Amino acid sequence: MAEFLQHLVNALVLGGTYALLGIGLTLIFGIMRIVNFTHGELFAFGAYFVYLFAMLLGFNFFIAFAIAVVGGCLLGAAIEFILLRPLRGADIETTMLVTIGAWIIMQNTELLVWGGVAKAITTPFPETPLVIGAISVSPLRVFVLVIALVLIGGTYALIHRTKLGMGMRATFQDSETAELMGLNIRGIYTATFSIGSGLAAAAGALLGPVFLAAPTMGDLASLKAFAIVILGGLGNITGATIGGFLLAIIEELGAGYISSGYRDAMGFLIIIAVLLVKPTGLFARAERIG
Amino acid sequence: MLEIRDLVCSYGKVMALKGVSLSVAKGQLVALIGANGAGKTTTLRAISGLLKPRSGQITFNGHDITQAPARKVLSLGIACCPEGRRVFPHLTVKENLEMGCYLRTNRVEITKDMDKIFEQFPRLAERRAQEAGTLSGGEQQMLAIGRALMSRPTLVLFDEPSLGLAPNLVERTFEIIKNIRDLGTTVLMVEQNALAALEMCDHAYLLESGSLALEGSGRQLLDDPHVREAYLGG
């Protein structure tokens, strides 16, 4: 039982960041209909930015984290502005190929800049774990979970409580009528891609210190983000949140009780199962954002 | 108020409008009638900035809006109530109205206008927190009209307002549109229900295959043998 609870706690920490990844990707797909393969690289970017600012430039860890998130938003906006905006109205395959190209370029740039050896990021949190009964969790992981939950809540508030969020939902439901209402659809798209990218960078910036920053870390992150979005239903933020935690629980229990070597495979087995049984995702209502 | 000269629009190689000229005077209710595919909706799309015309000119109160984007057209005072109502199904009634005044910023004035809409359409007030997709067709039409009025337009474009509504609601909708005109807002209405449109309008244009076939007062078109034959069932 104690072991099971320990696995659940670990899953909770991982799940928060998975949810961030999934929400970011589902927003971009839901509103812009873009299958975004750069998502994982934004995740890696977040981790490396924390490394750059905290480890190399000596900034305070928390400030480095904030810079990484803002940097992710800006990088996302730049990608949208330069690569995707000229392709508006193009086939989904065309934009997909472009994001695949961007993914390869970004990953190789990381390899060039940072080298192939993974980087460790140290944090101001004490190494001694907090022990509650039979469960132990490091203060860093508590921080990761809390920040992830705050960002998830913030994204919900943005989508449901702000004028920009209302515009995003309206654009998702009927972009032409949204345009008739005077919305700057291009601006909405840039904002969406920027927010989605910022969430991916935040996930990377949170997990970088827990694990390591490595140039290929984005690949698995992308795949997992797609898995989470498929689990939750395309464009469904609540689904992506639940999907993120669900994937983490499946991985954690699979690794703990079946085989740790198959940790990353567990999620994908579930995805295949979901696609076979309920291809619209586990939590799909009618397609919608919100 | 609105002047259209030699408007040519196409979808790819298909010519939808082959040089249409028409004008809408301030305070009038102008009807644009014609069969399916005659170019009525295309005309409205070109005015509202959703479709870039090939050639020709559209001016509104002296501003050239031929190539203007939708937000510019709206900010000059032209609102559109699109075909099929097109309310945002998963936004609430209140949010739909707020979408109608997305460009406005004065909260006090917005609240005042929204209260007016709710006063006029009590059904919407009752359902303000409900998703618009759960409303009946008639309620959605009221919402789409209210949404268009939220931008405080001086000209409202109606695209097939009676389409898909039960007969009693059709009448109600036309009453509302006449009322909008009577309160001083100019109306340009596209309508397949030629009889009703001609009876209520001040001026009418008949489109056939992308060209203007006839224009005149509603009465004149009602009495025209060709109109009677082709659009009013003889």
pLDDT computed for residue A59 by the predictor:
94
pTM of the complete model beyond 0.95: no
d(CA A137, CA A143): 11
What the block records as the tokens of B69 is: 């984007």
The label of the residue with tokens 């698995």 reads A220
Closest chain A C-alpha to B88 CA, distance in angstroms: 6
Residues of chain B with C-beta less than 8 angstroms from the C-beta of A290: 90
Class for domain B2-231, per CATH? Answer: alpha beta
The label of the residue with tokens 């998502």 reads A39
pLDDT computed for residue A288 by the predictor:
55
pLDDT of A290 above 60:
no
pLDDT computed for residue A289 by the predictor:
57
Check: CB of residue A120 under 8 Å from CB of residue A212: yes
Residue A12: partners with Cβ closer than 8 Å, 6 or more residues away: A145, A245, A248
Selecting from B50, B89, B90 the residue whose C-beta is nearest the C-beta of A180 gives: B50
d(CA B63, CA B59): 5
pLDDT computed for residue B5 by the predictor:
94
Report chain A's C-alpha Rg in angstroms.
Answer: 19
Check: CB of residue A29 under 8 Å from CB of residue A234: yes
pLDDT computed for residue A185 by the predictor:
92
For residues A212-217, give the mean pLDDT: 92
d(CA A74, CA A205): 15
What the block records as the tokens of B52 is: 């870039």
d(CA B208, CA B190): 13
d(CA A2, CA A5): 5
What one-letter code names the amino acid at B200? M
d(CA B198, CA B218): 4
pLDDT computed for residue A197 by the predictor:
97
pLDDT computed for residue B147 by the predictor:
96
CA angle B198, B58, B104 (to 5 degrees): 90
Residues of chain A with C-beta less than 8 angstroms from the C-beta of B88: 169-170, 173-174, 177-178
pLDDT computed for residue A268 by the predictor:
82
Please say whether the dihedral angle defined by the alpha carbons of residues A103, A270, A280 and A246, taken in this order, is positive or negative: negative
Mean pLDDT rounded to a whole number for chain A: 91
Digitized pLDDT (tens) for each residue of chain B, 234 residues in all: 999 999 999 988 888 999 999 999 999 999 999 988 889 999 999 999 999 999 999 999 999 999 999 999 999 999 999 999 999 999 999 999 999 999 999 999 999 999 999 999 999 999 999 999 999 999 999 999 999 999 999 999 999 999 989 988 999 999 999 999 999 999 999 998 999 999 999 999 999 999 998 999 989 999 998 888 888 876
Higher pLDDT, A166 or A90: A166
Tens-digit pLDDT profile for residues A44-97: 999 999 999 999 999 999 999 999 999 999 999 999 999 999 998 888 899 999
Q: Is A237 on the interface with B (CB under 8 A)?
A: no
Residue ranges of A 165-224 with Cβ closer than 8 A to chain B? 166-167, 169-170, 173-174, 176-184
pLDDT computed for residue A284 by the predictor:
63
The phi-psi region of residue B3 (left if phi > 0; otherwise alpha if psi is between -120 and 50; otherwise beta) is beta
d(CA B162, CA B144): 12
pLDDT computed for residue A90 by the predictor:
86
pLDDT of A287 above 70:
no
Other CB atoms within a 10 A radius of the CB of residue B106 amount to: 10
d(CA A276, CA A282): 11
The phi-psi region of residue A136 (left if phi > 0; otherwise alpha if psi is between -120 and 50; otherwise beta) is beta
Note the residue count of chain A.
290
pLDDT computed for residue B126 by the predictor:
95
| Cα distance from N-terminal residue to C-terminal residue, chain B | 34
Query: Which of A18, A199, A36 shows the shortest CA–CA distance to A106?
Result: A36
d(CA B120, CA A166): 25
What the block records as the tokens of A120 is: 């460790």
Residue of B nearest to A288 (CA): B90
Tell me if A181 and B48 make a contact (CB, 8 A cut-off): no
Beta bridge partners of residue A135, listed in sequence order = A132
Q: How confident is the model at residue A265 (pLDDT cuts 50, 70, 90)?
A: confident
Tell me if B70 and A182 make a contact (CB, 8 A cut-off): yes
pLDDT computed for residue A281 by the predictor:
76
Tens-digit pLDDT profile for residues A111-132: 999 988 999 998 999 988 898 8
For A213, list phi and psi in degrees, rounded to 5.
Answer: -95, 120
Other CB atoms within a 10 A radius of the CB of residue B230 amount to: 16
Q: How far is CA B156 from the centre of its chain?
A: 5
Please say whether the dihedral angle defined by the alpha carbons of residues A32, A36, A39 and A45, taken in this order, is positive or negative: negative
Check: CB of residue B64 under 8 Å from CB of residue B57: yes
pLDDT computed for residue B234 by the predictor:
60
Buried b (16+ CB within 10 A) or exposed e, B11-31: eeeebbbbbbebebeeebbbb
Q: Is A288 on the interface with B (CB under 8 A)?
A: yes
Residues of chain B with C-beta less than 8 angstroms from the C-beta of A160: none
Check: CB of residue B36 under 8 Å from CB of residue B58: no
Q: Is B84 on the interface with A (CB under 8 A)?
A: no
Domain ranges of chain B: 2-231
> Using the 8-state DSSP alphabet, how is residue A289 labeled?
-
Residue B227: partners with Cβ closer than 8 Å, 6 or more residues away: B194, B198, B206, B214, B221
Higher pLDDT, A78 or A270: A78
Query: Which of B45, B51, B134 shows the shortest CA–CA distance to B87?
Result: B134
Tell me if A177 and B71 make a contact (CB, 8 A cut-off): no
pLDDT computed for residue A266 by the predictor:
81
d(CA A168, CA B58): 30
What the block records as the tokens of A23 is: 């929400």
Label the pairing between strands B2-11 and B14-24.
antiparallel
Residue B131: partners with Cβ closer than 8 Å, 6 or more residues away: B89, B90, B91, B92
pLDDT of A286 above 80:
no
Q: Is A217 exposed, middle or buried (0-12, 13-18, 19+ CB in 10 A)?
A: buried
